[in-house]
Amino acid sequence: MLENLFNLEGKVALVTGGAKGIGAMITRGLVEAGVKVYISSRSAEACGAFAVEMSQYGTCVALPTNLLDIENIEALAMALGEQETQLDILVNNSGATWGAPIDSFPEKGWDKVMDLNVKSVFFLTKNLLPLLKAGGTATDPSRVINISSIAGITHGGLSAVSYNASKAACNHLTKVLAHELAKDHILVNAIAPGFFPSKMTSHFDHEALGAKNPVGRIGQPSDIAGLVIYLTSKAGSFMTGNIIPLDGGLLVS
End-to-end CA distance of the chain: 37
Q: Which helix (H) or strand (E) holds 186?
A: strand 186-193
- Contact call for residues 115 and 37 (beta carbons, < 8 A): no
The DSSP output letter for 177 is H
> Is 163 an annotated catalytic residue?
yes
Distances (CA, A) of 128 to 22, 66, 132, 177, 243: 22, 16, 6, 13, 22
**Alpha carbons 116 and 120: distance in angstroms, whole number:** 5
Active-site choice (38, 57, 163, 230): 163
SS3 39: strand
The candidate with the shortest Cα–Cα distance to 163, out of 196, 117, 106, is: 117
- Tell me which residues are annotated as active site: 163
